[in-house]
């Protein structure tokens, strides 16, 4: 028998080390402090972050090994990846997702065996809460929506590159959160108008983001619950479901797609933007592992394949179903269809 190496397994073991190194850098504000070409030596970093020399050296070395920092002589600086996505205030800042995962998702993942045995979420208690949004911790909700915006901002950028929203005039973003997708699209397309449908408390957060972007006249919000409301707002020629359907089971998703079909005019489009599994449900890892995360965070969610979404869309009455592929933190493709 040919002997193979367990080295790939050690790589999986070390995955948590890599994440926690990244999270530690974000927590310290390392990458924001190195913005715009600033550099630090180990001794300077130790002084600036009130660390001993050994942990400062280990953090900088590990960050460089992960492609987050670059080293010239004794000086470390941000890599292009860190400069674009880990400096607070950048358009596609991703640190909020890292911070939320570190504070609220990482520890529940330690009990994944419990989730497998019970088929119950670990980040909230279904016996005491109606949903994860039913909480007395408002700070956690702010952190959650900031994390979702952090993931959605570049995902919206990638989707806008892959799909021509210029063919539409009115967008309905169902479960649109803090508004990353409409903000990105409306910045690109001056004739596009958009509506975000989400819980009333989420709409408040969205309105703040929209106002900061200077788009309050073109992007509106509607407070509601797309699961329990009998119908969706009409008057839109394209409906977006981005990173929504993986939260729910097939029955719930089919019911939502039926509402979308009823709300669209003839030739109106629907776009399902997700981390899509392949048809065999064997990958890619980012989609399959997000499915595992749904076990931790939802009651019935899982990631689905493009073929599954296509079948549900066809059953709901949609036609011209196709998949558009792209790469981003929140999605690797979008399943697009048209109401006949």
Superfamily of domain 95-339: Vaccinia Virus protein VP39 (3.40.50.150)
Active site residue 246: yes
- Residue 130 is predicted with a pLDDT of 79
What is the rounded average pLDDT of the residues 206-216? Answer: 97
What is the rounded average pLDDT of the residues 5-27? Answer: 97
What is the rounded average pLDDT of the residues 219-235? Answer: 97
Residues 6+ apart with CB under 8 A from 10: none
Please, what CATH class does the domain formed by 13-85 belong to? mainly alpha
Rounded Cα–Cα distance for residues 196 and 219 (Å): 8
* Residue 298 DSSP SS3: coil
Do 338 and 268 touch, CB atoms closer than 8 A? yes
Rounded Cα–Cα distance for residues 271 and 87 (Å): 31
Kindly list the domain boundaries of the chain, sorted by start residue: 13-85, 95-339
Averaged pLDDT of the chain: 96
Residue 235 gets the label, from left (phi > 0), alpha (psi -120 to 50) or beta, of left
Rounded Cα–Cα distance for residues 269 and 159 (Å): 15
**247-273 per-position pLDDT tens digit:** 999 999 999 999 999 999 999 999 999
- Residue 231 is predicted with a pLDDT of 97
Residues 6+ apart with CB under 8 A from 195: 170, 171, 172, 173, 182, 219, 220, 221, 222, 233, 236
% of the chain residues with pLDDT over 70 = 99
Phi, psi of 195 (to 5 degrees): -130, 135
- Residue 136 is predicted with a pLDDT of 66
Residue closest to 169 by CA, chosen among 199, 143, 132, 194: 194
Check pLDDT > 80 for residue 4: yes
**32-91 per-position pLDDT tens digit:** 999 999 999 999 999 999 999 999 999 999 999 999 999 999 999 999 999 999 999 999
- Residue 141 is predicted with a pLDDT of 82
What is the rounded average pLDDT of the residues 274-282? Answer: 97
User: How would residue 210 be classed by pLDDT, with cut points 50, 70 and 90?
Assistant: very high
**291-325 per-position pLDDT tens digit:** 999 999 999 999 999 999 999 999 999 999 999 99
Check pLDDT > 70 for residue 334: yes
Residue 306 gets the label, from left (phi > 0), alpha (psi -120 to 50) or beta, of alpha
**133-186 per-position pLDDT tens digit:** 777 677 888 899 999 999 999 999 999 999 999 999 999 999 999 999 999 999
Q: Which of 104, 168, 236, 246 is catalytic?
A: 246
Strand 318-325: give its sheet, edge to edge.
219-223, 193-198, 170-174, 238-242, 269-274, 333-339, 318-325
Do 170 and 142 touch, CB atoms closer than 8 A? no
3-state helix, strand, coil in the chain (%, to 5): 50, 15, 35
């Amino acid at each position: 028998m040919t002997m193979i190496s367990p080295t790939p397994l050690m790589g999986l073991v070390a995955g948590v080390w890599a994440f926690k190194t990244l999270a530690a850098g974000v927590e310290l504000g390392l990458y924001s402090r190195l913005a715009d070409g600033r550099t630090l030596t180990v001794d300077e970093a130790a002084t600036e972050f009130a660390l001993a020399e050994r942990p400062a050296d280990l953090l900088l070395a590990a960050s460089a090994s992960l492609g987050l920092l670059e080293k010239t002589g004794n000086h470390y600086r941000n890599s292009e990846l860190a400069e674009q996505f880990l400096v607070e205030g950048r358009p596609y800042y991703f640190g909020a997702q890292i911070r939320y995962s570190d504070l609220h998702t990482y520890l529940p993942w330690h009990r994944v065996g419990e989730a497998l045995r019970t088929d119950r979420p670990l980040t909230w208690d279904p016996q005491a809460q109606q949903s994860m949004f039913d909480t007395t911790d408002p700070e956690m909700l702010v952190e959650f929506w900031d994390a979702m915006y952090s993931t959605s901002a570049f995902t919206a950028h990638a989707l806008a590159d892959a799909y021509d929203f210029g063919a539409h005039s009115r967008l309905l973003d169902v479960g649109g959160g803090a508004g990353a997708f409409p903000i990105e699209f409306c910045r690109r397309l001056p004739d596009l108008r958009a509506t975000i449908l989400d819980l009333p408390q989420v709409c408040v957060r969205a309105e703040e983001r929209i106002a900061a972007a200077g788009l309050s006249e073109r992007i509106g919000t509607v407070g509601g619950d797309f699961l329990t409301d009998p119908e969706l707002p009409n008057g839109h020629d394209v409906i977006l479901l981005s990173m929504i359907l993986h939260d729910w089971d097939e029955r719930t998703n089919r019911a939502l797609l039926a509402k979308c079909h009823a709300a669209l005019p003839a030739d109106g489009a629907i776009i399902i933007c997700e981390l899509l599994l392949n048809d065999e449900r064997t990958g890619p890892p980012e989609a399959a592992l997000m499915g595992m995360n749904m076990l931790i965070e939802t009651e019935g969610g899982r990631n689905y394949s493009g073929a599954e979404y296509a079948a549900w869309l066809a059953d709901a009455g949609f036609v011209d179903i196709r998949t558009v592929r792209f790469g981003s933190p929140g999605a690797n493709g979008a399943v697009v269809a048209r109401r006949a």
